[in-house]
C-alpha cells in the first residue's frame, strides 16, 4: 500500500497512526505480525509515485466536488490502463467528478464505514458508465482484503448506509428537540437495545424473528404503529443551530472535545473485542 496526501507530513502521520492501531490489533489477537504489515505500507513523494503500478486506488480526499474533480483528472493522467479506482465519497455520486475523465469506466464509489479496518461493510455504487468488469473486480478485491461489499444496482445519492443512518438520526434529533428524552438516553436505546442485535443481523432479519409468523406477521401486527409514526413525521425537519447547540452541550458535559481522540481509540478497542467475538462465531 502506498499512501499519498497533498499536505506534507500527513501521510507519514497516518502511517504512525496505523502502527498504533496495529499494536492494539496484536493485543487483541486479531493479527500476529505487525512488522510485516508495517513494512508493506510506504509513504509516496507524490501522486504519480503512489499510483505507479497500482492495481487499485482508493481516493479519500475532501468531500467536495471541485476537489474530487481536480484529483480525478490528476489520477487519470498517471494510472495504468488496467488500474481500478474506488472513491470514498460519502454521498456525492461519482458522475459529478468522473464524467469527463478517460478512465471513467474503471471508477466506482467504494464507500467504507468508519473505521474501515474494523467495520467491514463497503458500499459499491456504479456510475452509468462503470463497466460490469470493474464492479466485479473491485467486489472480488474487497472480499479478498476482508471487506463485506454491498452493491447498488444503479447510482443513488447518499447511497444506502447513510440513508439508513439519516432516518435514524432525523428521529433522534427530533426526540431531543421535542424535549422528550436526553441525547444520552437516545444513545442508550441503541447501545443497550437495538444495536445489540444489529451487531450481527439487519432490520429485516430482526423483524422476521420478532413475530411468531415472520416478517409478514410482524407487518400485520405492527404495521399500524409504524404508519402512525410515519404520519407524525411527514415534514422534513432540519437539524437547526439551536438544536445542534443543545445536543453539543449535552455531549460535551459527558465528553470534552479534548478527549474525543482518546474515546475514538476506546471505540476501536471495543470494536476489536467485538471483531474477535464475531470471528469465533461468524460461520455459525
Ligand X SMILES: NC(=O)c1ccc[n+]([C@@H]2O[C@H](COP(=O)([O-])OP(=O)(O)OC[C@H]3O[C@@H](n4cnc5c(N)ncnc54)[C@H](O)[C@@H]3O)[C@@H](O)[C@H]2O)c1
Among 2, 58, 88, 250, interactor with ligand X by CB under 6 A: 88
Among 5, 24, 217, 246, interactor with ligand X by CB under 6 A: 5
Q: Which is nearer to ligand X, 114 or 227 (CB)?
A: 114
CA distance 205 to 208: 5
Question: Under the criterion CB under 6 A, does residue 10 sit at the interface with ligand X?
Answer: yes
Q: Strand 121-126 relative to strand 107-112: parallel, antiparallel, unpaired?
A: antiparallel
Smallest gap from Cβ 146 to ligand X, in A, equals 17
Smallest gap from Cβ 274 to ligand X, in A, equals 18
Q: Which is nearer to ligand X, 165 or 182 (CB)?
A: 165
Nearest to 159 by CA among 197, 208, 108, 202: 108
CA distance 200 to 203: 10
CA distance 166 to 171: 9
Among 23, 114, 228, 264, interactor with ligand X by CB under 6 A: 114
Interface positions, 158-187, toward ligand X (CB under 6 A): none
Among 54, 111, 138, 173, interactor with ligand X by CB under 6 A: 111
Smallest gap from Cβ 30 to ligand X, in A, equals 21
From the list 3-11, 179-187, 209-217, 252-260, the region that binds ligand X by CB under 6 A is 3-11
Among 63, 157, 185, 248, interactor with ligand X by CB under 6 A: 63
Smallest gap from Cβ 63 to ligand X, in A, equals 4
CA angle, 78 then 157 then 116, to 5°: 60
CA distance 272 to 275: 5
DSSP alpha helices (H): ranges in 190-259?
Answer: 195-198, 203-208, 215-232, 241-254
From the list 61-69, 188-196, 201-209, 214-222, the region that binds ligand X by CB under 6 A is 61-69
Nearest to 88 by CA among 106, 64, 104, 66: 64
Question: Under the criterion CB under 6 A, does residue 226 sit at the interface with ligand X?
Answer: no
CA distance 142 to 96: 24
Which residues, in sequence order, are bridge partners of residue 148?
121
Q: Which is nearer to ligand X, 164 or 229 (CB)?
A: 164
From the list 82-90, 169-177, 209-217, 243-251, the region that binds ligand X by CB under 6 A is 82-90
Crossing angle of helices 161-177 and 241-254, in 10° steps, is 90
Tell me the site size for ligand X, rule CB under 6 A. 17
Residues that bind ligand X in the complex, under the rule CB under 6 A: 4-7, 10, 60-63, 67, 71, 88-90, 111-112, 114
Amino acid at each position: 500500500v502506498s499512501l499519498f496526501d497533498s499536505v506534507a507530513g500527513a501521510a507519514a502521520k497516518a502511517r504512525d497512526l496505523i502502527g498504533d492501531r496495529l499494536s492494539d490489533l496484536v493485543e487483541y489477537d486479531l493479527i500476529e505480525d505487525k512488522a510485516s504489515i508495517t513494512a508493506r505500507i510506504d509513504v509516496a513523494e507524490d501522486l504519480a509515485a503512489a499510483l505507479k503500478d497500482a492495481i487499485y486506488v482508493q481516493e479519500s480526499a475532501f468531500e467536495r466536488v471541485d476537489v474530487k474533480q481536480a484529483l480525478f483528472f490528476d489520477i487519470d493522467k498517471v494510472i495504468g490502463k488496467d488500474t481500478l479506482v474506488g472513491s470514498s465519497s460519502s454521498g456525492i455520486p461519482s458522475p459529478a467528478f468522473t464524467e469527463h475523465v478517460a478512465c471513467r469506466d474503471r471508477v466506482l464509489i467504494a464507500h467504507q464505514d468508519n473505521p474501515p479496518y474494523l467495520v467491514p461493510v463497503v458500499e459499491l455504487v456504479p456510475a452509468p458508465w462503470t463497466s460490469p468488469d470493474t464492479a466485479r473486480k473491485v467486489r472480488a478485491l474487497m472480499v479478498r482484503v476482508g471487506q463485506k461489499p454491498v452493491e447498488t444496482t444503479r447510482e443513488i445519492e447518499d447511497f444506502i448506509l447513510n440513508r439508513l443512518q439519516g432516518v435514524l438520526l432525523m428521529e433522534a434529533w427530533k426526540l431531543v428537540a421535542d424535549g422528550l428524552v436526553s441525547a444520552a438516553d437516545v444513545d442508550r436505546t441503541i447501545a443497550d437495545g437495538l444495536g445489540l442485535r444489529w451487531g450481527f443481523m439487519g432490520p429485516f432479519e430482526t423483524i422476521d424473528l420478532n413475530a411468531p409468523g415472520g416478517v409478514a406477521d410482524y407487518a400485520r401486527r405492527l404495521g399500524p404503529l409504524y404508519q402512525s409514526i410515519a404520519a407524525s413525521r411527514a415534514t422534513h425537519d432540519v437539524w437547526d443551530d439551536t438544536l445542534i447547540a443543545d445536543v453539543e452541550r449535552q455531549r460535551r458535559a459527558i465528553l470534552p472535545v479534548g478527549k474525543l481522540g482518546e474515546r475514538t481509540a476506546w471505540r476501536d478497542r471495543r470494536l476489536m473485542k467485538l471483531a474477535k467475538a464475531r470471528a469465533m462465531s461468524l460461520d455459525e
